[in-house]
A and B are shown apart, each in its own frame.
Chain A
Amino acid sequence: MADAIVVERLSRHFGSKAALAEVSLRISKGCVFCIAGPNGSGKTTLLNIVAGVLAPSSGRCEVMKGLKVGYAYQHPKLSDELTVGENISFFSQLNEGEGEWGRRMVDAMGLGELMDETADELSSGTRKRLEVAVALLHNPDVVLLDEPTTGLDVESKEGILQLIKLFRKNGKTVVIATHQLDDFSGVCDELVILNKGRVAVEKGVKGFDGEKLLRVYSSAVSKG
């Protein structure tokens, strides 16, 4: 399958600290790709570079031409003074979102009845759901999700997993950064484990159950 994202010898430094060091990987179109690793391993930095929010210090990161990227940040980046509806409308217009698709995402995230609530007053779980909806409003081809299930209740987590399955069905590429690997055991096709900014493990894991994934993860992190 053709590549959606190519990362070659990518490094990123913050001052003298290396957040990523010589990371190389390829992510196929239509694949659900998990980036796992402990806190500070470079997962968010890698997603930021793929999303174009951050420039690499060296190396190359390329999202194939013509593919639209949607990025749900780990910490929701919303216009806090605006209501849920106004946030949806603002980001939809800013990213040239598609009306019908946007409404589907709002419903999928269970935000339909919260449109008049101010973003600032939402619970952290609801803010997270709004963040995911905002990232998806423009029907992106590549979906980047940073810790998408953190702080969510069981029902909301299930909603996210259903959405990921829907994306895969529609041929979209999904990249998930997480340290809660067991949440995604049922949907993950490929896995890369980062440790201290380097790739510790990269392998296809389709069909792995949660326990097996965790064993791979623990082994990789303990070696690092």
Chain B
Amino acid sequence: MRKLKTLVGREFLVIGRSALMLLLIVILPIIFSMIFASFKQVIPNSTPASLIAASPEVTESEMNSTFKLLSRFCSPSIDSREDAFRKLSREEVYFIVSVPSGVWSGEGNVRVFVDNSLSPVAEMSDYVAEILKYELGEAYKRNYLSFPPPNILIEKIGKPISPIEYFTPGVVMVLLAIAGILVIPFNTVKDRNLMSRLLSSASPREFIGSKLLFSLLLASLQIAIFFIAQNILRLPVMSVNLLSAITLILASFALTSTGLLIAFAFKLSNLSRYVCSLLFGAVATFSGIFYPPGFLPSYLQPIPKVLPTYYAMVLVRGFGVKGLEAGIFVDYFAIIVGWLVISLVLLYYFIRRFMDG
């Protein structure tokens, strides 16, 4: 028993020396419990939505009244019809509420548009209608509304896809993140002892090139597997086309260069592995891989916007599932390429610094 106590005591002593480890043990459960608890709500507060006028006759007062009503359970913005549908394609909003003229005097039907290919939202769209009905009913009961609430019609846009088809691109992204943020940097850390020989035989550019080529091969293998499954075996797993393949490869490069950048910034120490693991957790949780980031609480919603994988996920779904054109995603492409370029420049700098001892 004494030996057991001594051995356990040593474990605590060792862990106590690593501030980051302690942080991970305490902070991570808090973050995850907050995220999962908030996601339990069907449509949490601050889910982004667009509010549009169904016709030019809709008055400003009708729009403002509906805006106030929507604000009770989501984060609406008043948009033009064109902007709203563009935002829906880009997953900037998760549903569009179309207000008919005379809605507050009992005329017309309120339409709620949702993207059928965004499975989790499409499945929950009935709840959106229910909540909207409930809020309108409450307004009627409290005499804010002089007429019975209007009908709420749900219109699902685009072809429906199965949850499997929805989640498969996310699985690919997780695999790319495992390779780029965990496997490749961890192997590089393991090569710490060997690094001076490698970097005296090959230039930093050749070294970086070899790592990116390796990640390209890993990404290509995964893309090829899903391509074969879908196009040859006819399994409805994931639609891979040229644009979605390019997006996945760019994301793979961005993840690999970021992982290596962290490894070299921390001089290939064990600390770099903890930081990479933390980044992997952030990427897996906040990139919209398993559920749309707009379902997160408002204070967590800015996090996906700083991750290139969030934009990559929207692009892959946009190209592979919705069949959209590249034109509406130019800025998303620019963000991923920008991230890649900046991380490569920093990686080059940190490798040079590592070489200089």
Residues of A bordering B, CB below 8 Å: 14, 48, 51-55, 71, 73, 75, 77-80, 91, 94-95, 134
Given known contacts A71-B200, A91-B201, A95-B201, A14 and B357 CB-to-CB distance under 8 angstroms: yes
Q: How far is the CB of A105 from chain B (nearest CB, A)?
A: 16
A79 touching B191 by the CB < 8 A rule? Answer: yes
Asked, given contacts A94-B201, A94-B202, A95-B201, whether A77 binds B355 with beta carbons under 8 Å apart, the answer is no
Known: A51-B200, A78-B194. 11 other contacts (CB 8 A): A53-B196, A53-B199, A54-B355, A54-B357, A55-B355, A75-B193, A77-B196, A79-B191, A94-B201, A94-B202, A134-B197
Please, which residues of chain A bring their CB within 8 A of the CB of B198?
94
Is B356 part of the contact surface with A, judged by Cβ < 8 Å? yes
Query: What are 29 A-B pairs at a CB distance below 8 A?
Result: A14-B357, A51-B200, A52-B200, A53-B196, A53-B199, A53-B200, A53-B355, A54-B355, A54-B356, A54-B357, A55-B356, A55-B357, A71-B197, A71-B200, A73-B196, A73-B197, A75-B193, A77-B194, A77-B196, A77-B197, A78-B194, A79-B191, A79-B194, A80-B193, A91-B197, A91-B201, A94-B198, A94-B202, A134-B197
Instruction: Give me the 8 closest cross-chain CB pairs, A-B, nearest first.
Output: A77-B197, A53-B196, A94-B201, A77-B194, A55-B356, A53-B200, A95-B201, A54-B357
B2 to A: closest C-beta gap in Å: 35
- Chain A residue nearest to B201 (CB atoms) is A94
Encode B320-357 as 1/0 by CB contact (under 8 A) with A.
Answer: 00000000000000000000000000000000000111
Q: Give A183 to B225 CA distance when docked, in angstroms.
A: 59
Q: How far is the CB of B206 from chain A (nearest CB, A)?
A: 10
Main secondary structure of the interface of A (DSSP, over half): loop
A48 proximity list for chain B (CB < 8 A): 196
Chain B residue at minimal CB-CB distance from A78: B194
Chain A residues within 8 Å of B196, by CB = 48, 53, 73, 77
Q: Is the interface of B mostly helix, strand, loop or mixed?
A: helix
Contacts of B191 in A (CB 8 A): 79
Residues of A near B200 (CB, < 8 A) are 51-53, 71
A33 vs B202: C-alpha distance in the bound complex, in angstroms?
27
| Residues of chain B whose beta carbon lies under 8 Å from any beta carbon of chain A | 191, 193-194, 196-202, 355-357
Taking the closest CB of chain A, its distance from the CB of B18, in whole angstroms, is 24
A14, chain B: closest CB distance, angstroms: 7
Chain B residues within 8 Å of A80, by CB:
193
- Which chain A residues lie closer than 8 Å to B201 at the CB level? 91, 94-95
Residues of chain B within 8 A of A78, CB atoms compared: 194
The residue on A at minimum CB distance from B200 is A53
- Chain B minimum-CB-distance residue to A94: B201
Task: Give the nearest-CB partner of B193 in chain A.
Answer: A77
Docked complex Cα distance between A48 and B199 (Å): 12
When chains A and B are docked, how far (Å) is the Cα of A95 from the Cα of B201? 6
Residues of B within 8 A of A73 (CB): 196-197
Residues in A with CB closer than 8 Å to B202 are 94
Q: With a CB–CB cut-off of 8 A, which chain A residues contact B357?
A: 14, 54-55
Bound-complex Cα distance A81 to B110 (A)? 65
CA distance A163 to B233 in the complex (A): 61
Bound Cα distance A212, B290 (Å): 75
A89 to chain B, nearest CB (A): 14
B52 to chain A, nearest CB (A): 59
A79 and B355 alpha carbons, distance in the complex (Å): 18
A202 to B294, CA, bound (A): 72
A residues within 8 A CB of B356? 54-55
- Docked CA distance A134–B6 (Å): 44
B204 to chain A, nearest CB (A): 13
Measured between alpha carbons, how far is A95 from B200 in the docked complex, in Å? Answer: 10
Of chain B, the residue at the smallest CB distance from A81 is B190
Q: How far is the CA of A71 from the CA of B199 in the complex (A)?
A: 13
**Most chain A CB neighbours (cut-off 10 Å) among B197, B198, B355:** B197
Who on chain A is nearest to B195 by CB? A77
Chain B residues, CB < 8 A from A54: 355-357
> A71 CA to B201 CA in the complex, in Å?
10
Query: Could you tell me the distance between the alpha carbons of A71 and B304 in the complex, rounded to whole angstroms?
Result: 47
- Least CB separation from B206: chain A residue: A94
CB neighbours of B199 from chain A (8 A): 53
Q: How far is the CB of A20 from chain B (nearest CB, A)?
A: 12
Name which of A52, A53, A54, A91 has the most chain B CB atoms within 10 A of its CB: A53
Q: Please name all residues of chain B whose beta carbon is closer than 8 Å to the beta carbon of A79 when the two chains form the complex.
A: 191, 194
A169 to B250, CA, bound (A): 54
Q: What residue of chain A has the Cβ atom nearest to residue B187's Cβ? A: A81
What's the nearest-Cβ distance from chain A to residue B268, in Å?
13
> What B residues does A53 contact at CB under 8 A?
196, 199-200, 355
Inter-chain CA distance A134–B201, complex, in Å, is: 12
**Least CB distance, B205 to chain A, in whole angstroms:** 15
Q: Which residues of B contact A14 (CB under 8 A)?
A: 357
Bound-complex Cα distance A55 to B355 (A) = 8
Cα–Cα, bound, A14→B191 (Å)? 23
Distance (whole angstroms) from the CB of B61 to the closest CB of chain A: 70
Q: How far is the CB of B202 from chain A (nearest CB, A)?
A: 7
